[in-house]
Chains A and B, each alone.
Chain A
Amino acid sequence: MSITLYTAPNCLRCKIVKEFLAKRGQGYTAYDFKEDKDIFNNYYRANRSSIYRNPEGVEFPIFDDGNVIKQGTGEILAYLLSGRVLESCVTRSELLHGWISGLNVSACPAGQEENFSTLIRVLAKGGLTVQLRSDGRRSDLLKTILDEGTVSRMVLDIVAPSRLYPTVAGGPIDLEDLNRSISLTRSHADHLIRIVVSAYAGEGGAMTRITPAEAGEAAQMVLDACGNRMLPVFVEAAQNAGLEPLEGQALLPYRSKVRNVLVKAEIRKPEAH
């Protein structure tokens, strides 16, 4: 299957993908959207419904192997490393300008640890600033990756109370594992711990939000795991399509339930990128 890349001039993310392909001896054809504009414009017109645009325009590089179109350097490398297996833990980066996110260590499927670590290493060595995310699970893999020193910012998201973890995060959470993830996160120079007001498909498939009481339960789970009432945490609403945004006053009941348990909890606004 032949690989085609559509790239932009001076694009670090494009360079990383090209170097990765070259290192593995995989051939590809690259077209620059400015220099080869006729080829790119024809491709764009034929495929525009499949092409993602970030807030600053078309996301480059665009990878096309005849089977799939992929964008996002993390997602392209994940696909090259292990097909679609890493799709659960490598998703679209919300960060631009040299940063990359969308990397969730806790969702890494068993047997893919080496590929996931390689991915983080290639992104960081290629010059991107890596934000890694955990939901408290897989502290073993988190330690391996943090020990390499390639992660610039560590985000720990507590996404639900323990009983809802399988539904919201895709797997059960263990308090020992969570405690280790908290310690590892706190030992990183740039870190953030959030109690996330998640939305998930509830009974009947309708989107449901975690309630303030459930956020309080999640905070209690954190306290049970680490024993530290003074743990600095932020309460933040996940941004979800299909639900009204939850902001300002609406977050106060969440903060009070969390503060009953973790006294330093503060509300945090989602970052504008």
Chain B
Amino acid sequence: MSELKYPDDRRYHAEHLWAKQAADGSWVIGITDFAQDQLGEVIFIDLPEAGAHFKQGISCAEIESAKVVSPAIVPLSGAVVEVNAALNDTPELVNSDPYGQGWLIRIKADDPNEATITAAQYKAQVEA
């Protein structure tokens, strides 16, 4: 099995999501390589509507594989600006490219300084 990756160009949350700032200042959010590996092949994602607001630590979406239904816990509080519509037809992008095309939502963060963890801290947590 190839080793799971945790790029350090973004921030992480203990509940297996990452947040990366986009050029316009908004934050793109997705699940980690570890999370997609645990889920197995994703077959459906119940995404929120644009405009919805979520607090850090709250689930913004349900990710379904044949094995499990898992909540997607947002790493930063904020309002949804855009959801990844490509996931409606190709939810497996979450498996094949969790840090790229498999992103879930883009949010406008309430407070960009909200506490998160680094790639190294997240890696230490999942490999503990």
Residues of A within 8 A of B (CB): 8, 33-34, 37, 40-41, 44-45, 48, 53, 56-58
Contact between B66 and A58 (Cβ–Cβ < 8 Å)? yes
Beta-carbon nearest neighbor of A58 in chain B: B66
Min CB gap B62→A, angstroms: 10
Residues of A within 8 A of B120 (CB): none
Count how many pairs of residues, one from A and one from B, have CB atoms less than 8 Å apart in the complex.
Answer: 24
Min CB gap A44→B, angstroms: 5
Q: How far is the CA of A57 from the CA of B64 in the complex (A)?
A: 9
- Which listed residue (B41, B44, B64, B69) contacts A37, Cβ 8 A? B41
Residues of A within 8 A of B69 (CB): 53
Residues of A within 8 A of B44 (CB): 41, 44-45, 48
Contact between B43 and A57 (Cβ–Cβ < 8 Å)? no
Beta-carbon nearest neighbor of B45 in chain A: A45
Size of the B side of the interface (Cβ < 8 Å), in residues, is 11
Contact between A8 and B66 (Cβ–Cβ < 8 Å)? yes
Contact between B91 and A41 (Cβ–Cβ < 8 Å)? yes
Q: How far is the CA of A180 from the CA of B38 in the complex (A)?
A: 51
Q: How far is the CA of A44 from the CA of B91 in the complex (A)?
A: 12
Beta-carbon nearest neighbor of A56 in chain B: B67
Which DSSP category, helix, strand, loop or mixed, fits chain B's interface?
A: loop
Residues of B within 8 A of A (CB): 41, 43-44, 64-69, 91-92
Contact between B43 and A41 (Cβ–Cβ < 8 Å)? yes
Q: How far is the CA of A45 from the CA of B69 in the complex (A)?
A: 14
Min CB gap A41→B, angstroms: 5
Contact between A57 and B91 (Cβ–Cβ < 8 Å)? no
Q: How far is the CA of A8 from the CA of B65 in the complex (A)?
A: 13
> Known: A41-B91, A53-B69. Contact between A48 and B41, CB under 8 A?
no
Min CB gap A107→B, angstroms: 32
Closest 5 CB pairs of A and B: A57-B67, A41-B43, A58-B66, A44-B43, A57-B66
- Which listed residue (B64, B65, B92) contacts A48, Cβ 8 A? B64
Beta-carbon nearest neighbor of B69 in chain A: A53
User: Could you show 13 A-B contacts with beta carbons less than 8 Å apart?
Assistant: A8-B66, A37-B41, A37-B43, A40-B43, A41-B43, A41-B44, A41-B92, A45-B43, A45-B44, A48-B64, A56-B67, A57-B65, A57-B67
Min CB gap A61→B, angstroms: 12
Q: How far is the CA of A48 from the CA of B65 in the complex (A)?
A: 11
Residues of A within 8 A of B43 (CB): 37, 40-41, 44-45
Beta-carbon nearest neighbor of A6 in chain B: B66
